[in-house]
Structure 1
Amino acid sequence: MNTRIEGNTAPGFTSLTDVFAAAFTGHDAMGAALSVRVAGETVVDLWGGTADPRDGSPWTKDTTSVIFSCTKGLVSILAARLVQDGLLDYQAPVATYWPEFAAEGKEKITVADLLAHRSGLSAPRDLLNVEDVIDWDTVTGRLAAQRPLWAVGEGYAYHALTHGWLAGEVIRRITGRTVGKYFDELIATPLRADAWIGLPREARHRVSHMRAGSSLTALVAQQAASRVAGEIDWSERAMTLGNAFPPELVDPDGGFNDPRVQAAELPGAGGIASARALASIWSSTVAETDGVRLLDTDTVADAIRPQTEGTPLFSGQPPFPRWGMGFQLPSLAREFLGPASFGHDGAGGQVAFADATHQVGFAFLTNLMEAGADHRATAIVDELRRILRRPVRADRHR
């Protein structure tokens, strides 16, 4: 049965409706939303499917979803804005802003190292549980006191969850506000965007229920089977933090479906937003959007200068992503629209980014998490790239 797609597209962008609809093929009880802005104007706003497969409730125009590592992109916008405002220096030692961080030989680690996954703190040495991770001071205190897993300059490994606490604590030390409050003040409230790092109770009923799809559960099982007994799998611990999260990041009532986790400020992966909100946020980094322009051109150029690429220190299969100052950059792993794109994808198929050349803000969100060669968002981005390369029609934005 075909999924009913609701919403609208501007002239010139109608083909994206079919590509978005095709993303539901073969995926039962999936919900998703797609939003695209160009030069500040909304050209695509679509949604469809099931928000909660437990009761069959539909995905509506007001549904929000856990965005996982797309949250890192939002935190990187906050960091870039602090650089733009002269309050943060990417090349300064982290300890300049967070003195306790200098423990265990970390005094030379820079903010750039932290944002670009080079700090050696991709996973905790001590096992953490859910009660630990929803307590900000517990996690940041442990990370500040921890000896790095590798020496600075030796390489990088993806800081799947710790990235948020590390960058977030630097932001907190500079602004005097938690990362969630600073995000709300600087970004969400001015843009009137339904996006949070730390979900308020009154918005809880709008959040879709996340579910691991068959490719994700198969990948987790394959990784577990190949694990060497008695050896720490640092990539696995980067995702689970030990005992805090399942390897899939969700289960029916736990992981990032847990209301306690959603309410906590977990800026590595705990953001919750609508696709419409994310597209507006990314649009505002490259074009005035609803009266807001978050970053200037020079700030963006500095923030997306490549910092990290190539083979990571721990396990993983190519193609590998590339990063600037916390922003994910175009690569074979995630092509985006072109060399002027920057953003961050998220576990299970979430994708959100900006493109400076075309002044695009883009977001695709889904509550059915897949792994590996998941082409749902990729096909949409490919079609958008094709549209934007066509000659501009006079009626496109009528």
Structure 2
Amino acid sequence: MTQEIHGSVADGFEAVREEFAALVASERPDYEGQLCAYVHGRRVVDLWAGDGADAQSLYGVFSSTKGAAHLVVALLMQDGTLEPDRKVTYYWPEFAAEGKGTLTLRDLVAHRAGLVGLDSGFTAQELTDDRVVAERLADQRPFWRPGTAFGYHALVIGALTGEVVRRATGHTLQEVYEERVRAPYGLDFFLGLPAALEPRFRSVQPMAPTATQQALLDLAPTGPHTLASIAFNQHVPDPVDIADYANSRAVRAKGPASAGGVAAARGLAGMYAAAISEVDGRPPLLKPDTVAEVGQIHSVGYDLVARAHKSYGLGFQATADTWHPFLGAGSFGHSGAGGSQAFADPRSGLAYGYTRRRMAFPGGAAPENERLVSAVHKAALAA
């Protein structure tokens, strides 16, 4: 039985609804997800499907959280509160241990610190608390000479940049985000989900790979002490399952800035719309020079953790190079392990957000984003 598609699209975006409906029809019967897009600050796509889901349902968005974290960093750089080319130790003196004293904030945010995890790993409880993660990392020897290469700081980048934010402002990154971004726009994108909103959270459903997909996973190079294992904290005796991480109330309550965010597609797209466009009479959060700087590629090439070609701007993924080459140069955003994706394309004025409940193979932005983004982008260019 084909699921019903809910929501609406603006004139000219009918093809997006058709593409979303085709996706839902091709998915498992229990598919649940949301799609939202803005163009020049106007919401033009607002769709969802799934038994019991609605536009306000909230999902664990894993690393799409990093987009919110680094929007905060961008705002503070724009204000002059943070200076990207200062050494991290200017804000956080203890960071100098083990040869990290020369690293700049710009290199830290661009995944160039070589500080992807701990030799001994973190406990599940430690991973809920960014301040604890940062304190432990301050004493860790980097896994490559800082600034000479880059690799995805999957579970720790938000704690590292968050500690700089806390030292510079006296407030946590989550507090700055709430005050300057989420609350003013009423965004359904939380770094710290209030208990009163817990009924809106839809628990993450683990990925169920097909036999072919499992065979591919089995062929992937793994080992208990690889850089990837350390970065994803899989080298500890009892590693946390990624779905269990998002389903933990402790994680949702504290909103770790690397991967602990909770959002609806409206919240994801709305945040990026607010970043680059006038929304509801409010001016864009980011000035044109800041938009250009955060979208400028800072790290590109072989990612030592992902073992693949990747591109990063200032904390954000360079979306056009990493995911969708048809997007405009300078597009920036982030994907999440559960399949979510969100970004801004300043050249077309597009802001995009997608969530899904069941984790998608093989992780990161779900494959269907390719056709959904393409449909939205084509409609945006024609609008």
Work out the percentage of aligned pairs sharing the same amino acid: 33
1:344 aligns to 2:331 (yes or no): no
Select which of 69, 75, 81 maps to 1:75: 69
User: 3-state SS of the aligned residue for 1:309?
Assistant: strand
Residue 347 of structure 1 aligns with an amino acid whose one-letter code is: A
Q: Structure 1 residues 312, 381: CA separation in 2 closer, same or farther (over 3 Å shift)?
A: same
Instruction: Tell me the alpha carbon deviations over residues 102-128 of structure 1, each in whole angstroms, 9 at most, x when there is no partner.
Output: 111111111111111110111221221
Select which of 341, 344, 351 maps to 1:354: 344
1:135 aligns to 2:129 (yes or no): yes
TM-score, with length taken from structure 2: 0.92
1:271 aligns to 2:261 (yes or no): yes
Whole-Å separation in 2 of the counterparts to 1:242 and 1:142:
17
Q: Structure 1 residues 387, 246: CA separation in 2 closer, same or farther (over 3 Å shift)?
A: farther
Matches within 5 A, 1:91-110: 91-110=85-104
Whole-Å separation in 2 of the counterparts to 1:228 and 1:9:
44
1:312 is matched with 303
User: 3-state SS of the aligned residue for 2:95?
Assistant: helix
* Alpha carbons 2:303, 2:310 under 8 Å: kept: no
1:46 aligns to 2:44 (yes or no): no
2:323 is matched with 334
1:20 aligns to 2:10 (yes or no): no
How big is the shift at 1:93? Answer: 0.8
Greater mean deviation of Cα atoms: 372-381 or 215-224 = 215-224
Instruction: Tell me the alpha carbon deviations over residues 194-237 of structure 1, each in whole angstroms, 9 at most, x when there is no partner.
Output: 221111111111111112223399767855665566x5022123
2:275 is matched with 285
User: 3-state SS of the aligned residue for 1:7?
Assistant: strand
Instruction: Tell me the alpha carbon deviations over residues 89-146 of structure 1, each in whole angstroms, 9 at most, x when there is no partner.
Output: 1111111111111111111111111111110111221221112222333211111111
* Alpha carbons 1:128, 1:242 under 8 Å: kept: no
Whole-Å separation in 1 of the counterparts to 2:238 and 2:31:
22
Whole-Å separation in 2 of the counterparts to 1:283 and 1:40:
5
Select which of 303, 316, 320 maps to 2:294: 303
Whole-Å separation in 1 of the counterparts to 2:157 and 2:78:
21
Residue 8 of structure 2 aligns with an amino acid whose one-letter code is: N
Greater mean deviation of Cα atoms: 360-369 or 213-222 = 213-222
User: 3-state SS of the aligned residue for 1:61?
Assistant: coil
Whole-Å separation in 2 of the counterparts to 1:206 and 1:217:
33
Q: Structure 1 residues 78, 245: CA separation in 2 closer, same or farther (over 3 Å shift)?
A: farther
1:387 is matched with 379
Residue 311 of structure 1 aligns with an amino acid whose one-letter code is: Y
1:255 aligns to 2:255 (yes or no): no
Q: CA RMSD in A?
A: 2.3
1:8 is matched with 8
* Alpha carbons 1:216, 1:371 under 8 Å: kept: no
Instruction: Tell me the alpha carbon deviations over residues 145-178 of structure 1, each in whole angstroms, 9 at most, x when there is no partner.
Output: 1110111233111111111101111111112111
Q: Structure 1 residues 244, 286: CA separation in 2 closer, same or farther (over 3 Å shift)?
A: farther
User: 3-state SS of the aligned residue for 2:20?
Assistant: helix
Whole-Å separation in 2 of the counterparts to 1:141 and 1:235:
21
Q: Structure 1 residues 245, 167: CA separation in 2 closer, same or farther (over 3 Å shift)?
A: farther
How big is the shift at 1:348? Answer: 2.7
Structure 2's unaligned 5+ residue stretches are none
Instruction: Tell me the alpha carbon deviations over residues 290-334 of structure 1, each in whole angstroms, 9 at most, x when there is no partner.
Output: 2332100011112222111111224524xx221111111134541
